[in-house]
Amino acid sequence: MSNANYIFDATEENFQQGVIENSYKAPVLVDFWAEWCEPCKQLIPLLEKLVADMPGQFVLAKVDSEAQQALSQKFQIRSIPTVLVFKNGEMLDQFSGLIPEQTIRDIIAKHIVTAAETMRNRAIEDIQAGDLTAGMSKLLEAEKLDPENAMIQIDLAHLEAQQKNYPEAKSRLSRLKLVDREKDDVISLLNKIEFTLTTENAPSIDELLKTIEVSPDESLPRYQLATQLISQEDFEAGLDHLLYILQRDRKFQDDAAHKTMLSAFTLIGDDNPLVGQYRRKMFNAMH
């Protein structure tokens, strides 16, 4: 494969595919340059030389900052040349100015895709194609290659939860380092598992609806109903039932309705308008 396959001009139109999607296969260095910039004219040949020296280990995306001002603004480029390093869909590193070749090599080396990451990417392809068995097998192989890789552990937990192996998924997530346990997707998955485990041995939704119709102020069946609805992503109905308990039985199971609403907000995500709406309702009910 020629070096040209690893070098391209990035634009606003092809950035998603060329940079973000490609970065799951190999690191992508995004070089912001301009025709009038003398250091840029020295850096580009150096980066192209590294592409030739390290074929397939990274991709070089060149952004003409004058022609692609929207991209420059999006990434808050203050000076050029500036190089951003993308991997797994995220911007993980950057440098500005003309720096020594060895320093650039060291930066690239930090982000080169490992054998474990390659196996993980193959597993994700299997999972997306619906072959969960092959995906699990490859993820376990990736885990052997790199047991400390948090992304592999999180992928395994997602797949275990999908296969209803909730205790193992929860245990796996609990073994992550604190910085990884605090990631949004990990917190969301843990909350989803908790909701599912809470409802595991509860009566069916139909039974619970009949129970609260007869005994509307009985908190336990209403709470079981709320958690089941939330686990099935019927968020508004579930939150309404939790709010009902919060307004009438604040002491139920050590303020369980309040705590569960907070967990539900994390699961739903702050970008969902329901979260702001029900935070206000919760506040009013508590005060």
Tens digit of pLDDT for each residue in 11-67? 999 999 999 999 988 999 999 999 999 999 999 999 999 999 998 899 999 999 999
Sheet holding 28-33, edge to edge: 7-9, 59-64, 28-33, 82-87, 90-96
Q: At what angle do helices 219-231 and 235-248 cross, to 10 degrees?
A: 160
pTM, rounded to two decimals = 0.62
Tokens of 191: 């909350």
Cβ count near 52 (within 10 Å): 11
* Cβ–Cβ < 8 Å for 238, 205: no
CATH of 3-111, one of 1.10.3300.10, 3.40.30.10, 3.40.250.10, 3.40.720.10: 3.40.30.10
Does the domain at 199-286 match CATH 3.40.640.10? Answer given as no
Tens digit of pLDDT for each residue in 200-225? 778 999 999 999 999 999 999 999 99
User: What is the set of active-site residues?
Assistant: 37, 40
Q: What is the distance between the alpha carbons of residues 175 and 160, in angstroms, rounded to a whole number?
A: 15
Tens digit of pLDDT for each residue in 175-192? 999 999 988 889 889 888
pLDDT on residue 121: 87
Region 151-179: mean pLDDT is 93
Q: What is the distance between the alpha carbons of residues 126 and 46, in angstroms, rounded to a whole number?
A: 37
Q: What is the distance between the alpha carbons of residues 51 and 62, in angstroms, rounded to a whole number?
A: 13
- 15 versus 4: the higher-pLDDT residue is 15
Indicate if 115-175 has the same CATH topology as 3-111: no
| Architecture of the 115-175 domain | Alpha Horseshoe (1.25)
Going from N- to C-terminal start, the domains of the chain cover 3-111, 115-175, 199-286
pLDDT on residue 1: 41
